[in-house]
Amino acid sequence: MACRRLDAKCLSDLLKDIDYFLLDIDGVIWNAAGDIQGSREAVETLQTLRAVIFLSNCSCLTREEFVSNFEELGYNVKPGQIYGTAYAVASYLKDTRFRGKVYVMGTPSIGKELDKFGIKHTGIGVDKDPVGATCRPTDLTHLSLDPEVNCVIVGYDNYFNISKLQKAVNYIARGAISLATHEDLCYPTTDGLVTIDAGVLVAAVGEATGKTPILIGKPSRIILEQIRRDAHQLDPSRCCLIGDSLSTDIALAARCGMRSILVLTGQSTQKDVDGINCGDGGGDGFVPDYYIDGLGDIVTLLRQGEASG
Ligand SMILES: [Mg+2]
Protein backbone atom coordinates (compact mmCIF):
# COMPACT_ATOMS: atom_id res chain seq x y z
CA MET A 1 0.00 0.00 0.00
CA ALA A 2 1.37 3.38 -1.01
CA CYS A 3 1.21 6.76 0.67
CA ARG A 4 0.06 9.36 -1.86
CA ARG A 5 0.68 13.07 -1.80
CA LEU A 6 -2.66 14.73 -1.05
CA ASP A 7 -4.01 16.74 -3.98
CA ALA A 8 -7.07 18.96 -4.42
CA LYS A 9 -9.25 16.15 -5.80
CA CYS A 10 -8.29 13.71 -3.03
CA LEU A 11 -9.01 16.36 -0.39
CA SER A 12 -12.39 17.13 -1.92
CA ASP A 13 -13.28 13.43 -1.92
CA LEU A 14 -11.95 12.98 1.61
CA LEU A 15 -14.11 15.81 2.93
CA LYS A 16 -17.22 13.99 1.73
CA ASP A 17 -16.34 11.05 3.99
CA ILE A 18 -15.22 12.95 7.10
CA ASP A 19 -17.09 14.49 10.04
CA TYR A 20 -14.11 15.07 12.33
CA PHE A 21 -10.51 16.09 11.89
CA LEU A 22 -8.30 14.92 14.75
CA LEU A 23 -5.14 16.99 14.80
CA ASP A 24 -1.89 16.20 16.56
CA ILE A 25 -0.23 19.32 18.02
CA ASP A 26 3.57 18.98 18.40
CA GLY A 27 5.10 18.84 14.94
CA VAL A 28 1.81 19.88 13.32
CA ILE A 29 0.70 23.13 15.01
CA TRP A 30 3.97 24.05 16.67
CA ASN A 31 7.40 22.57 17.30
CA ALA A 32 10.44 23.39 19.40
CA ALA A 33 11.15 26.44 17.20
CA GLY A 34 7.66 27.93 17.63
CA ASP A 35 4.54 27.97 15.52
CA ILE A 36 4.56 26.22 12.17
CA GLN A 37 3.84 28.55 9.30
CA GLY A 38 0.44 28.14 7.68
CA SER A 39 -1.03 25.94 10.41
CA ARG A 40 -3.22 28.60 12.02
CA GLU A 41 -4.97 29.47 8.77
CA ALA A 42 -5.41 25.77 8.04
CA VAL A 43 -7.01 25.14 11.46
CA GLU A 44 -9.32 28.14 11.00
CA THR A 45 -10.36 26.78 7.62
CA LEU A 46 -10.85 23.21 8.85
CA GLN A 47 -12.95 24.49 11.77
CA THR A 48 -15.36 26.08 9.30
CA LEU A 49 -15.66 22.81 7.37
CA ARG A 50 -15.74 20.07 10.01
CA ALA A 51 -15.42 19.49 13.76
CA VAL A 52 -11.81 19.71 14.90
CA ILE A 53 -10.35 17.94 17.93
CA PHE A 54 -6.73 18.09 19.06
CA LEU A 55 -5.03 15.08 20.55
CA SER A 56 -1.49 15.32 21.82
CA ASN A 57 0.77 12.91 23.67
CA CYS A 58 2.34 15.87 25.51
CA SER A 59 1.84 15.36 29.28
CA CYS A 60 3.30 18.73 30.30
CA LEU A 61 0.22 20.88 29.74
CA THR A 62 -3.32 20.94 31.14
CA ARG A 63 -6.20 21.60 28.78
CA GLU A 64 -6.21 25.24 29.88
CA GLU A 65 -2.45 25.56 29.38
CA PHE A 66 -2.80 24.20 25.86
CA VAL A 67 -5.48 26.86 25.23
CA SER A 68 -3.13 29.59 26.50
CA ASN A 69 -0.43 28.41 24.12
CA PHE A 70 -2.94 28.32 21.26
CA GLU A 71 -4.21 31.82 22.10
CA GLU A 72 -0.67 33.23 22.15
CA LEU A 73 -0.37 32.09 18.55
CA GLY A 74 -3.76 33.57 17.60
CA TYR A 75 -5.84 30.39 17.56
CA ASN A 76 -9.42 30.19 18.79
CA VAL A 77 -9.61 26.83 20.58
CA LYS A 78 -11.69 25.64 23.54
CA PRO A 79 -10.42 23.38 26.38
CA GLY A 80 -13.02 20.73 25.50
CA GLN A 81 -11.44 20.34 22.06
CA ILE A 82 -8.10 19.29 23.52
CA TYR A 83 -7.05 15.80 24.64
CA GLY A 84 -3.52 15.91 26.04
CA THR A 85 -2.24 13.00 28.09
CA ALA A 86 -2.25 14.87 31.44
CA TYR A 87 -6.03 15.27 31.03
CA ALA A 88 -6.45 11.82 29.50
CA VAL A 89 -4.67 9.93 32.29
CA ALA A 90 -6.72 11.73 34.96
CA SER A 91 -9.89 11.11 32.99
CA TYR A 92 -8.99 7.41 32.70
CA LEU A 93 -8.72 7.10 36.49
CA LYS A 94 -12.03 8.90 36.91
CA ASP A 95 -13.69 6.61 34.34
CA THR A 96 -12.34 3.49 36.06
CA ARG A 97 -13.61 4.77 39.44
CA PHE A 98 -10.11 4.74 40.90
CA ARG A 99 -9.90 4.91 44.67
CA GLY A 100 -6.60 5.58 46.39
CA LYS A 101 -3.58 7.76 45.79
CA VAL A 102 -1.34 8.21 42.78
CA TYR A 103 2.43 8.52 42.73
CA VAL A 104 3.15 10.86 39.81
CA MET A 105 6.48 10.90 38.06
CA GLY A 106 5.55 13.85 35.89
CA THR A 107 4.91 17.56 35.66
CA PRO A 108 2.44 19.72 37.65
CA SER A 109 -0.01 19.55 34.73
CA ILE A 110 -0.86 15.94 35.69
CA GLY A 111 -1.46 16.98 39.30
CA LYS A 112 -3.76 19.82 38.21
CA GLU A 113 -5.83 17.47 36.05
CA LEU A 114 -6.04 14.89 38.87
CA ASP A 115 -7.12 17.67 41.25
CA LYS A 116 -10.09 18.45 38.99
CA PHE A 117 -11.41 14.92 39.61
CA GLY A 118 -10.54 14.96 43.32
CA ILE A 119 -7.88 12.26 42.90
CA LYS A 120 -5.15 12.33 45.55
CA HIS A 121 -1.54 12.34 44.40
CA THR A 122 2.06 12.76 45.53
CA GLY A 123 5.51 12.96 44.00
CA ILE A 124 5.36 15.98 41.69
CA GLY A 125 8.33 18.35 41.76
CA VAL A 126 11.72 18.01 43.42
CA ASP A 127 12.05 14.71 45.27
CA LYS A 128 12.34 15.25 49.00
CA ASP A 129 14.26 12.02 49.58
CA PRO A 130 17.26 12.35 47.27
CA VAL A 131 19.79 9.59 47.12
CA GLY A 132 22.91 10.90 48.87
CA ALA A 133 26.31 10.67 47.28
CA THR A 134 27.34 8.08 49.84
CA CYS A 135 24.15 6.04 49.59
CA ARG A 136 24.80 2.49 48.44
CA PRO A 137 22.51 1.08 45.72
CA THR A 138 21.21 -1.51 48.18
CA ASP A 139 20.36 1.06 50.83
CA LEU A 140 16.78 2.23 50.34
CA THR A 141 16.27 3.52 53.87
CA HIS A 142 16.05 7.06 52.48
CA LEU A 143 12.89 6.17 50.58
CA SER A 144 9.70 7.16 52.37
CA LEU A 145 7.04 5.13 50.57
CA ASP A 146 3.47 6.33 51.07
CA PRO A 147 1.25 3.41 52.19
CA GLU A 148 -1.78 4.95 50.47
CA VAL A 149 -0.26 4.85 46.97
CA ASN A 150 -1.84 2.20 44.73
CA CYS A 151 -1.20 3.70 41.29
CA VAL A 152 1.86 5.10 39.49
CA ILE A 153 1.66 7.51 36.58
CA VAL A 154 4.80 8.01 34.52
CA GLY A 155 4.98 10.98 32.17
CA TYR A 156 7.69 13.45 31.29
CA ASP A 157 9.39 14.70 34.47
CA ASN A 158 11.93 17.54 34.59
CA TYR A 159 12.90 16.43 38.11
CA PHE A 160 13.41 12.76 37.29
CA ASN A 161 16.11 11.14 39.44
CA ILE A 162 17.09 7.76 40.85
CA SER A 163 15.06 8.26 44.01
CA LYS A 164 11.88 8.84 41.99
CA LEU A 165 12.64 5.80 39.87
CA GLN A 166 13.15 3.70 43.02
CA LYS A 167 9.81 4.87 44.39
CA ALA A 168 7.88 4.23 41.17
CA VAL A 169 9.39 0.77 40.84
CA ASN A 170 8.75 -0.16 44.46
CA TYR A 171 5.14 1.03 44.39
CA ILE A 172 4.51 -1.10 41.29
CA ALA A 173 6.35 -4.06 42.85
CA ARG A 174 3.96 -3.68 45.80
CA GLY A 175 1.01 -4.01 43.44
CA ALA A 176 0.25 -0.43 42.32
CA ILE A 177 -1.39 0.01 38.91
CA SER A 178 1.16 1.22 36.35
CA LEU A 179 0.08 3.92 33.86
CA ALA A 180 2.13 5.63 31.16
CA THR A 181 0.98 8.91 29.65
CA HIS A 182 2.90 8.25 26.44
CA GLU A 183 5.86 6.31 25.12
CA ASP A 184 7.42 8.82 22.74
CA LEU A 185 11.18 8.60 23.20
CA CYS A 186 12.06 12.00 21.77
CA TYR A 187 10.48 15.40 21.19
CA PRO A 188 10.81 16.73 17.63
CA THR A 189 13.51 19.42 17.49
CA THR A 190 14.76 21.51 14.63
CA ASP A 191 18.37 21.99 15.73
CA GLY A 192 19.56 18.41 15.40
CA LEU A 193 19.72 17.89 19.17
CA VAL A 194 17.87 15.01 20.82
CA THR A 195 15.35 15.99 23.50
CA ILE A 196 14.25 12.95 25.44
CA ASP A 197 10.59 12.44 26.26
CA ALA A 198 8.54 10.33 28.68
CA GLY A 199 9.13 7.07 26.81
CA VAL A 200 12.65 6.90 28.20
CA LEU A 201 11.31 7.06 31.78
CA VAL A 202 8.47 4.65 30.99
CA ALA A 203 11.02 2.19 29.59
CA ALA A 204 13.18 2.47 32.72
CA VAL A 205 10.22 1.70 35.00
CA GLY A 206 9.02 -1.09 32.71
CA GLU A 207 12.46 -2.73 32.56
CA ALA A 208 12.89 -2.56 36.31
CA THR A 209 9.44 -3.95 37.16
CA GLY A 210 8.99 -6.32 34.24
CA LYS A 211 5.45 -4.98 33.94
CA THR A 212 3.95 -3.34 30.89
CA PRO A 213 2.13 -0.17 31.88
CA ILE A 214 -1.34 0.73 30.64
CA LEU A 215 -0.64 3.23 27.86
CA ILE A 216 -3.00 6.21 27.72
CA GLY A 217 -1.73 8.28 24.78
CA LYS A 218 -1.48 7.49 21.08
CA PRO A 219 -1.37 4.82 19.68
CA SER A 220 -3.53 3.51 22.56
CA ARG A 221 -7.24 3.33 21.87
CA ILE A 222 -7.91 4.73 25.36
CA ILE A 223 -7.50 8.36 24.33
CA LEU A 224 -9.70 7.82 21.26
CA GLU A 225 -12.39 6.18 23.40
CA GLN A 226 -12.44 9.29 25.61
CA ILE A 227 -13.00 11.45 22.55
CA ARG A 228 -15.75 9.08 21.34
CA ARG A 229 -17.46 9.23 24.73
CA ASP A 230 -17.47 13.04 24.66
CA ALA A 231 -18.27 13.47 20.97
CA HIS A 232 -21.49 11.52 20.63
CA GLN A 233 -19.80 8.19 19.84
CA LEU A 234 -18.09 9.55 16.76
CA ASP A 235 -17.49 6.93 14.10
CA PRO A 236 -13.72 6.41 13.56
CA SER A 237 -14.35 5.64 9.89
CA ARG A 238 -15.69 9.25 9.58
CA CYS A 239 -12.51 10.72 11.14
CA CYS A 240 -9.23 11.82 9.63
CA LEU A 241 -6.18 12.03 11.88
CA ILE A 242 -3.45 14.45 10.84
CA GLY A 243 -0.10 13.96 12.54
CA ASP A 244 3.67 13.89 12.15
CA SER A 245 4.46 10.55 13.79
CA LEU A 246 4.12 7.20 12.08
CA SER A 247 4.44 5.22 15.32
CA THR A 248 1.81 7.16 17.29
CA ASP A 249 -0.53 9.17 15.01
CA ILE A 250 -0.63 6.99 11.93
CA ALA A 251 -0.52 3.84 14.07
CA LEU A 252 -3.63 4.94 16.01
CA ALA A 253 -5.44 5.80 12.79
CA ALA A 254 -4.56 2.42 11.27
CA ARG A 255 -5.62 0.49 14.38
CA CYS A 256 -8.96 2.24 14.68
CA GLY A 257 -9.99 2.49 11.04
CA MET A 258 -9.50 6.24 10.71
CA ARG A 259 -8.23 7.97 7.60
CA SER A 260 -4.85 9.64 8.04
CA ILE A 261 -2.60 12.35 6.67
CA LEU A 262 1.10 12.55 7.54
CA VAL A 263 2.70 16.01 7.75
CA LEU A 264 6.44 16.49 7.27
CA THR A 265 6.91 19.37 9.73
CA GLY A 266 7.83 17.16 12.69
CA GLN A 267 9.23 13.70 13.19
CA SER A 268 8.67 12.31 9.71
CA THR A 269 10.47 13.29 6.55
CA GLN A 270 10.19 12.77 2.81
CA LYS A 271 12.73 9.97 3.30
CA ASP A 272 10.20 8.13 5.51
CA VAL A 273 7.51 8.50 2.85
CA ASP A 274 9.92 7.31 0.16
CA GLY A 275 10.82 4.36 2.39
CA ILE A 276 7.17 3.38 2.78
CA ASN A 277 6.55 3.67 -0.93
CA CYS A 278 9.66 1.61 -1.76
CA GLY A 279 8.31 -1.12 0.50
CA ASP A 280 11.48 -1.21 2.59
CA GLY A 281 9.56 -1.67 5.81
CA GLY A 282 9.44 2.05 6.62
CA GLY A 283 6.68 3.39 8.84
CA ASP A 284 6.74 0.38 11.19
CA GLY A 285 4.05 -1.08 8.94
CA PHE A 286 1.71 1.88 9.42
CA VAL A 287 0.95 3.62 6.14
CA PRO A 288 -0.85 6.97 6.05
CA ASP A 289 -3.44 7.44 3.33
CA TYR A 290 -1.85 10.72 2.28
CA TYR A 291 1.01 13.04 3.10
CA ILE A 292 1.50 16.81 2.83
CA ASP A 293 4.54 18.98 3.49
CA GLY A 294 2.72 20.92 6.22
CA LEU A 295 -0.79 21.57 7.52
CA GLY A 296 -0.86 24.87 5.58
CA ASP A 297 -1.02 22.86 2.34
CA ILE A 298 -4.67 22.14 3.18
CA VAL A 299 -5.56 25.78 2.48
CA THR A 300 -3.69 25.79 -0.83
CA LEU A 301 -5.37 22.56 -1.94
CA LEU A 302 -8.83 23.83 -1.03
CA ARG A 303 -8.21 26.99 -3.09
CA GLN A 304 -7.03 24.88 -6.01
CA GLY A 305 -10.19 22.81 -5.72
CA GLU A 306 -12.40 25.91 -5.71
CA ALA A 307 -10.53 27.37 -8.71
CA SER A 308 -11.01 24.20 -10.77
CA GLY A 309 -14.70 24.24 -9.92
MG1 LIG B 1 3.46 15.14 16.94
Residue 309 has pLDDT above 90, yes or no: no
Q: CA 185 to CA 200: how far, in whole Å? A: 5
Residue 206 has pLDDT above 90, yes or no: yes
C-alpha 227 to ligand 1 mean position (Å): 18
Q: What predicted TM-score, i.e. pTM, was given to this entire model?
A: 0.94
What's residue 137's pLDDT? 64
C-alpha 124 to ligand 1 mean position (Å): 25
What's residue 283's pLDDT? 58
C-alpha 293 to ligand 1 mean position (Å): 14
C-alpha 246 to ligand 1 mean position (Å): 9
Q: CA 306 to CA 7: how far, in whole Å? A: 13
The answer to whether 155 touches 110, Cβ cutoff 8 Å, is yes
C-alpha 263 to ligand 1 mean position (Å): 9
pLDDT tens for 65-98 read 999 999 999 999 999 999 999 999 999 999 999 9
Other residues' Cβ atoms within 10 Å of the Cβ of residue 143:
14
Strands 51-55 and 120-122: unpaired
| Domain architecture of the chain: domains with CATH | 4-84+219-307 (3.40.50.1000), 88-215 (3.40.50.1000)
C-alpha 131 to ligand 1 mean position (Å): 35
Residue 133 has pLDDT above 70, yes or no: no
C-alpha 136 to ligand 1 mean position (Å): 40
Strands 101-105 and 290-292: unpaired
C-alpha 144 to ligand 1 mean position (Å): 37
C-alpha 265 to ligand 1 mean position (Å): 9
Other residues' Cβ atoms within 10 Å of the Cβ of residue 82:
22
Q: Return the closest-CA partner of residue 88 out of 179, 198, 197.
A: 179
C-alpha 149 to ligand 1 mean position (Å): 32
Collapsing DSSP states into helix, strand and coil, what is residue 179? strand
C-alpha 182 to ligand 1 mean position (Å): 12
